[in-house]
Amino acid sequence: MESQELPYVLIDCIGGKHGVYEDHIEFLEKHFHLISMKEYLENKKSLSEKIRAIYIWYHKPVINEELLQSLPNLKIVASSGVGIDHLDLRLLSSYGVKVANTPFAVSTDTADFGMALMLASSRRLVEGYQMAVSPDTEYFPADWLGAEVSGATLGIVGMGTIGYKVAQRAKAFEMKILYHNRNQRNKEDESAVGAVYCKKIDDLLQQSDFVLLAVTLTPQTHKLIGKKELELMKPTATLINISRGLVVDQDALVEALQKKIIKAAALDVTYPEPLPRDHPLLKLKNIIITPHIGSATKKTRRLMMENMTESIKAGLTGLPIPNEVLL
Amino acid sequence: MLRSKAFSLLKPIPLMFGQSNLACIHPAIASYGHRCHRSPVDYRQRYKTYSAGEQTISASHTKVMAEDLPGVLILDIGGTHGVLENLAVLLKKHFHLITMKEFLENKKEMSKKIQSVFVFECRPTIDRELLESLPNLKVIGNSGVGVDHLDLKMISNFGVKVTNTPHAVADPTADMAMALMLASARRLVEGCQIAVSPDTKYFAVDWLGVEVTRATLGIIGMGSIGYKVAQRARAFNMKILYHNRNRRRKEEEEAVGAHYCEKMEDLLQQSDFVMLVVNLTPETHKLIGKKELGLMKPTATLINISRGAVIDQDALVEALQKKIIRAAALDVTHPEPLPRDHPLLRLNNIIITPHIGTATVQAIRMMAEEAIANMLAVLNGQPIPSEVFPK
């Protein structure tokens, strides 16, 4: 098949620190004629009308009005991951461009990682590792203790696909599960994981040993956890964030951790990423920070790529679009 | 009061504890557990902290005459290796607590009173000399489930029973096993280092770990702890294989979706994660060596929450250096801690934690309670919940 017959899809670049993975290219090129941003900018005149889709890999390329204006035949934009807070949905809609993400591909890995953070924080795994390998360690003290996960109370804020998968895993640890969500889940879903609905987030915060944030970032969830919420939490509680950095008021979190208003935090996401190297969060002892690796496994990234390919193809042939994001 | 006597004795003691005299001291104090994975410790440092802890305990001494209760021998209270202070309080509800120091300073009087020994983190060491000096000893109550540091045959020859705490350890150890598997697979420790490193300018998007959900977990040793690991792993949709001395009942297998591998080799060849949950016995010593590591997938991870000596550590070093397996995560090594120049500490595809499988506030307390219940059962002639027998 001649590559001219394949639809033209704009990408940012291949390889390097944020480019499309080189080992994904073979698959993508079976379906698309890929145009890098560099190629496009060098050849705008001949390429601008040919590009019908954009493949956004880790937030690049950035979609702005200028780009949308210069791509008259753009039909669909596929974005890796589930978060779409980096996209202006209204703007895209006004240009008649459809949007797709990859909510299901990321869900199990992100749920797994939420559990990993909760266990690592509670059992002081990172500190323990540092002690085990430190050149200064002469013995392991008997009074060095963490806290139990099994049988503790987990409060899940945001019980979507990811939140629910966390609940399924936590149940096997005999955790008591509370959840807060825009809508209550149906009875079968709740009883399958033994989850109790908390209409008011305050109730969840006051009763939980672990508070896990699994919401999408929207204007409503921006700084959802601030000073008031942190103070409602138990002083023995741990905050775990696998959603977006902006869901937490970071300054309030710094204060809460410094003053031991809560026991600890474990964050896969911050704002920005990475944090500036002099940020107070990096200096705290009672925190674990990971570099946004909730979905960072080979299989999942490949599945995301395949999902995005499917969405683009459907969008270009007028078929129903899997994983379409509606306004 | 015996305790105040002990204080006044503390001052002229330094000679006794001088390094060159260590051999003259009762081996139990030197606690050189050559059978135990624990490394020896400078006891002069410990006795400094001992006196500080002692003051707190005296203040909370109860009305019940301690001397009327059965005597239990412990190494020490507080400090770096002693019984934790809140556990000493629990013990004192049922026993007359006698520390090793008190015993040695007043052997004549104390030796007859001691009917039990509470072994906490492998200490005090139980050797022939100690057993010979305790004519009324009935039971050794071990905190923890592993008893590889105890010579069961020798102890049994003295007519002394041994008990452990299998129930208290199961949940926290299974949790730790899951924590290690997830941390290793998802490169959590490395990730933390990147997130906080002063050199980090951006987070690379091609930095990847491996999946846990739907991967294959091979559990070697499907006792209480192994089974609880299987229950947790099932919630991650893991495919579960297991190898055990004996096959579990069908209902038990089906409840966690576990497939029995009569031959350990089959488990090694098929697993993405190999988890060791056996007790340490002559049969399981160096169970995982060069051959076994060679059978594992090059993408596989070895997780050890049993005992360091179950693995041939030299073979493991080689396997990790040559990427014969992907990674290892060890809560246990031999010895603990490893010597600071040990090659395992220099590898970047390994996580080591300082034997914290039961290191939670809740578990430490439950282990003491379970040990107390066992010791009391022996002393009261009642059925013993968790007696351990020599082979």
Q: Of all residues in chain B, what percent carry a pLDDT higher than 70?
A: 84
Which residues pair with residue B99 across a beta bridge? Answer: B74
Q: Using CA atoms, how far apart are residues B204 and B184, in angstroms rounded to an integer? A: 19
Please report the pLDDT score of residue B65 as a whole number: 76
Classify residue A25 as exposed, middle or buried by CB count within 10 Å of its CB (0-12, 13-18, 19+).
middle
Q: Cβ–Cβ of B80/A58 closer than 8 Å?
A: no
- Give A 258-277 residues with CB within 8 A of chain B: 273-275, 277
pLDDT band of residue B152 (cuts 50, 70, 90) is very high
CB-nearest to A296 from B81, B176, B209 is B209
Q: Which residues of B touch A124 (CB under 8 A)?
A: 356
Q: Cβ–Cβ of B208/A301 closer than 8 Å?
A: yes
pLDDT band of residue B211 (cuts 50, 70, 90) is very high
pLDDT of B46 higher than 50? no
Q: Using CA atoms, how far apart are residues A215 and A242, in angstroms rounded to an integer? A: 9
Cβ contacts of A173 within 8 Å, gap of 6 or more: A149, A150, A151, B175, B178, B232
DSSP 8-state symbol, A251? H
Look up tokens 């390429």; give the residue. A47
Q: Using CA atoms, how far apart are residues A282 and A170, in angstroms rounded to an integer? A: 28
CA angle B317, B220, B224 (to 5 degrees): 130
CB-based contact (8 Å) between B231 and chain A?
Answer: yes
Do the Cβ atoms of B164 and B372 come closer than 8 Å?
no
Look up tokens 């190494």; give the residue. B75
Closest Cα in chain B, distance from residue A152 (Å): 11
CB-based contact (8 Å) between A123 and chain B?
Answer: yes
CB-based contact (8 Å) between A288 and chain B?
Answer: yes
pLDDT of B43 higher than 50? no
Angle, nearest 10°, between helix axes B166-185 and A125-133? 80
Q: Cβ–Cβ of B212/A112 closer than 8 Å?
A: yes
Among residues A219, A174, A228, A222, the alpha carbon closest in space to that of A200 is found at A228
Q: Cβ–Cβ of B213/A109 closer than 8 Å?
A: yes
For residue B205, report the phi and psi dihedrals to the nearest 5 degrees: -85, -10
* pTM of the full structure: 0.89
pLDDT of B24 higher than 80? no
Q: Using CA atoms, how far apart are residues B306 and B279, in angstroms rounded to an integer? A: 6
Do the Cβ atoms of B375 and B72 come closer than 8 Å?
yes
Closest Cα in chain B, distance from residue A150 (Å): 7
pLDDT of B64 higher than 90? no
Give the H or E element holding residue A178. strand A176-180
Identify each DSSP E strand in chain B by its residue range.
71-74, 96-99, 114-119, 139-142, 161-163, 216-220, 239-243, 258-260, 273-276, 301-304, 327-330, 350-352, 387-388
**Catalytic site residue from A24, A124, A185, A292:** A292
Look up tokens 């103070």; give the residue. A231
Distance of CA A60 to the CA centre of its chain: 16
Flag residues of chain A having pLDDT under 70. Answer: 1-4
- The upper half-sphere exposure of residue A10, i.e. CA atoms within 13 Å in the direction of its Cβ, equals 28
CB-nearest to A148 from B200, B201, B362 is B362
Percentages (nearest 5) of helix, strand, coil residues in chain B: 45, 15, 40
Please report the pLDDT score of residue B53 as a whole number: 41
Q: Cβ–Cβ of A123/B206 closer than 8 Å?
A: no
Q: Which residues of B touch A290 (CB under 8 A)?
A: 188, 191-192, 195
Mean pLDDT calculated for residue range B347-352:
97
Closest Cα in chain B, distance from residue A46 (Å): 31
pLDDT band of residue B42 (cuts 50, 70, 90) is very low
Most A CBs within 10 Å, among B196, B352, B364, to test the A interface? B196
Q: Of all residues in chain B, what percent carry a pLDDT higher than 90?
A: 81
- Give B 262-321 residues with CB within 8 A of chain A: none
Q: Using CA atoms, how far apart are residues A326 and B238, in angstroms rounded to an integer? A: 34
pLDDT band of residue B23 (cuts 50, 70, 90) is very low
Q: Cβ–Cβ of A145/B364 closer than 8 Å?
A: yes
pLDDT of B96 higher than 90? yes
DSSP 8-state symbol, B344? G
Please report the pLDDT score of residue A13 as a whole number: 97
- Residue B36 is which amino acid? C
At B371, is the secondary structure helix, strand, or coil?
helix
CB-based contact (8 Å) between A48 and chain B?
Answer: no
Please report the pLDDT score of residue B54 as a whole number: 43
DSSP 8-state symbol, B124? S
Q: Using CA atoms, how far apart are residues A295 and A300, in angstroms rounded to an integer? A: 7
At A41, is the secondary structure helix, strand, or coil?
helix
Strands across the sheet with B327-330, in order? B258-260, B239-243, B216-220, B273-276, B301-304, B327-330, B350-352
Most B CBs within 10 Å, among A129, A165, A240, to test the B interface? A129
- Residue A29 is which amino acid? E
pLDDT of B189 higher than 50? yes
Q: Cβ–Cβ of A119/B182 closer than 8 Å?
A: yes
Give the pair of three-digit tokens for residue B326.
């992907």
Q: Using CA atoms, how far apart are residues A135 and B61, in angstroms rounded to an integer? A: 41
pLDDT of B52 higher than 60? no
pLDDT of B177 higher than 80? yes
CB-based contact (8 Å) between B201 and chain A?
Answer: yes
pLDDT of B16 higher than 80? no
Cβ contacts of B84 within 8 Å, gap of 6 or more: A142, A143, B78, B364
